[in-house]
Amino acid sequence: MPLDPSFIGRTYPPTEPYEVGREKIREFAAAIGDANPAYTDAEAAKALGHPDVIAPPTFPFMLSFRAAAQVVNDPELGLDYSRVVHGDQKFAYTRPVRAGDRLSVTVSIDAIKSLAGNDVLTVRGEVGDASGEHVVTSIMTLVARAADEAGEE
Protein backbone atom coordinates (compact mmCIF):
# COMPACT_ATOMS: atom_id res chain seq x y z
CA MET A 1 0.00 0.00 0.00
CA PRO A 2 1.46 3.41 -0.94
CA LEU A 3 2.50 5.81 1.79
CA ASP A 4 -0.15 8.33 2.79
CA PRO A 5 0.68 11.80 1.41
CA SER A 6 -1.18 13.40 4.33
CA PHE A 7 2.07 12.85 6.28
CA ILE A 8 3.77 15.57 4.21
CA GLY A 9 4.61 18.37 6.62
CA ARG A 10 4.68 16.16 9.72
CA THR A 11 7.46 17.29 12.05
CA TYR A 12 8.99 15.15 14.78
CA PRO A 13 10.50 16.29 18.10
CA PRO A 14 14.13 17.46 18.14
CA THR A 15 16.74 14.87 19.00
CA GLU A 16 18.78 14.97 22.18
CA PRO A 17 21.90 17.12 21.68
CA TYR A 18 24.92 15.40 20.17
CA GLU A 19 28.26 16.83 21.24
CA VAL A 20 30.66 16.97 18.31
CA GLY A 21 34.12 15.90 19.44
CA ARG A 22 37.46 16.57 17.80
CA GLU A 23 38.26 12.87 17.72
CA LYS A 24 34.94 12.01 16.04
CA ILE A 25 35.70 14.58 13.36
CA ARG A 26 39.21 13.19 12.90
CA GLU A 27 37.87 9.62 12.68
CA PHE A 28 35.24 10.63 10.14
CA ALA A 29 37.79 12.52 8.01
CA ALA A 30 40.09 9.48 8.06
CA ALA A 31 37.21 7.14 7.19
CA ILE A 32 36.32 9.16 4.09
CA GLY A 33 39.98 9.69 3.16
CA ASP A 34 39.94 13.49 3.39
CA ALA A 35 43.27 14.85 4.64
CA ASN A 36 42.15 18.49 4.90
CA PRO A 37 44.10 19.81 7.93
CA ALA A 38 41.09 21.89 9.05
CA TYR A 39 39.50 18.56 10.04
CA THR A 40 42.39 17.35 12.17
CA ASP A 41 44.51 20.29 13.30
CA ALA A 42 42.99 23.03 15.48
CA GLU A 43 45.74 25.50 14.49
CA ALA A 44 45.09 24.92 10.78
CA ALA A 45 41.36 25.45 11.36
CA LYS A 46 42.04 28.64 13.35
CA ALA A 47 44.24 29.94 10.52
CA LEU A 48 41.14 29.66 8.32
CA GLY A 49 39.03 31.62 10.82
CA HIS A 50 37.37 28.74 12.67
CA PRO A 51 37.43 28.45 16.47
CA ASP A 52 38.39 24.76 16.36
CA VAL A 53 38.54 21.87 13.90
CA ILE A 54 35.58 21.67 11.56
CA ALA A 55 33.83 18.60 10.24
CA PRO A 56 33.78 17.42 6.62
CA PRO A 57 30.59 18.47 4.79
CA THR A 58 29.01 15.00 4.96
CA PHE A 59 29.54 14.59 8.73
CA PRO A 60 25.93 15.61 9.59
CA PHE A 61 24.62 12.56 7.71
CA MET A 62 25.16 10.51 10.85
CA LEU A 63 23.05 12.91 12.90
CA SER A 64 20.30 13.33 10.33
CA PHE A 65 20.11 9.58 9.68
CA ARG A 66 19.67 8.90 13.39
CA ALA A 67 16.98 11.58 13.61
CA ALA A 68 15.20 10.15 10.55
CA ALA A 69 14.65 6.97 12.56
CA GLN A 70 11.66 8.79 14.05
CA VAL A 71 10.10 8.87 10.57
CA VAL A 72 11.16 5.37 9.59
CA ASN A 73 9.83 3.89 12.84
CA ASP A 74 6.57 5.85 12.89
CA PRO A 75 3.95 3.07 12.96
CA GLU A 76 1.30 5.40 11.55
CA LEU A 77 3.39 6.04 8.43
CA GLY A 78 3.77 2.32 7.77
CA LEU A 79 7.12 2.43 5.95
CA ASP A 80 8.57 -1.04 5.35
CA TYR A 81 12.22 -0.37 6.18
CA SER A 82 13.28 -3.79 4.86
CA ARG A 83 12.60 -2.36 1.38
CA VAL A 84 14.28 1.02 1.88
CA VAL A 85 17.38 2.20 0.04
CA HIS A 86 19.04 5.57 0.44
CA GLY A 87 18.31 7.44 -2.77
CA ASP A 88 19.94 10.85 -2.35
CA GLN A 89 21.49 13.20 0.18
CA LYS A 90 22.00 16.98 0.09
CA PHE A 91 23.24 19.54 2.61
CA ALA A 92 22.68 23.31 2.77
CA TYR A 93 25.00 25.01 5.25
CA THR A 94 24.78 28.21 7.26
CA ARG A 95 28.18 27.46 8.81
CA PRO A 96 30.49 24.44 9.23
CA VAL A 97 29.99 21.93 12.02
CA ARG A 98 32.66 22.57 14.66
CA ALA A 99 34.22 20.57 17.45
CA GLY A 100 32.34 21.45 20.62
CA ASP A 101 29.00 22.00 18.90
CA ARG A 102 25.98 20.48 20.66
CA LEU A 103 23.66 19.73 17.78
CA SER A 104 20.01 18.72 17.70
CA VAL A 105 18.04 17.70 14.62
CA THR A 106 14.36 18.30 13.93
CA VAL A 107 13.08 16.15 11.07
CA SER A 108 10.07 16.71 8.85
CA ILE A 109 8.55 14.86 5.94
CA ASP A 110 8.86 17.15 2.92
CA ALA A 111 7.49 14.89 0.19
CA ILE A 112 5.93 11.52 -0.50
CA LYS A 113 5.62 10.28 -4.07
CA SER A 114 4.94 7.02 -5.78
CA LEU A 115 7.14 6.25 -8.80
CA ALA A 116 6.79 2.96 -10.68
CA GLY A 117 5.26 1.38 -7.59
CA ASN A 118 8.09 2.59 -5.35
CA ASP A 119 7.46 5.02 -2.49
CA VAL A 120 9.84 7.98 -2.48
CA LEU A 121 10.08 9.82 0.81
CA THR A 122 11.95 13.09 1.32
CA VAL A 123 13.00 13.82 4.89
CA ARG A 124 14.39 17.22 5.86
CA GLY A 125 16.56 17.56 8.96
CA GLU A 126 17.13 21.01 10.42
CA VAL A 127 20.35 20.88 12.45
CA GLY A 128 20.85 23.57 15.06
CA ASP A 129 23.29 24.25 17.85
CA ALA A 130 22.60 24.69 21.57
CA SER A 131 21.81 28.41 21.11
CA GLY A 132 19.23 27.59 18.43
CA GLU A 133 21.44 28.82 15.58
CA HIS A 134 20.86 27.00 12.29
CA VAL A 135 23.94 25.06 11.19
CA VAL A 136 22.87 22.88 8.28
CA THR A 137 19.80 21.48 6.56
CA SER A 138 19.99 17.86 5.50
CA ILE A 139 17.71 16.60 2.74
CA MET A 140 17.51 12.80 2.56
CA THR A 141 15.61 10.82 -0.06
CA LEU A 142 14.56 7.30 0.88
CA VAL A 143 13.10 4.87 -1.64
CA ALA A 144 10.92 1.99 -0.47
CA ARG A 145 11.10 -0.52 -3.30
CA ALA A 146 7.86 -2.04 -4.52
CA ALA A 147 7.10 -5.67 -3.75
CA ASP A 148 8.19 -7.98 -6.56
CA GLU A 149 5.66 -9.68 -8.78
CA ALA A 150 6.21 -13.07 -7.13
CA GLY A 151 3.98 -11.90 -4.32
CA GLU A 152 6.76 -10.85 -1.95
CA GLU A 153 5.41 -8.45 0.61
Pick from 56, 131, 124, 133: which is nearest to 94 by CA?
133
Sign of CA dihedral 6, 7, 13, 19: negative
Q: Which pLDDT does position 131 carry in this prediction?
A: 97
Taking the C-alpha atoms of residue 73 and residue 90, their distance in angstroms, rounded to an integer, is: 22
pLDDT of residue 24: 97
The pLDDT assigned to 152 comes to 53
CA–CA separation, 8 and 122 (whole Å)? 9
Taking the chain (153 residues) in consecutive chunks of 10 residues, what is each chunk's mean pLDDT? 90 98 97 97 97 97 95 93 93 98 98 93 98 97 81 52
pLDDT at site 2: 81
pLDDT reported for residue 151: 52
- The verdict on pTM exceeding 0.75 is yes
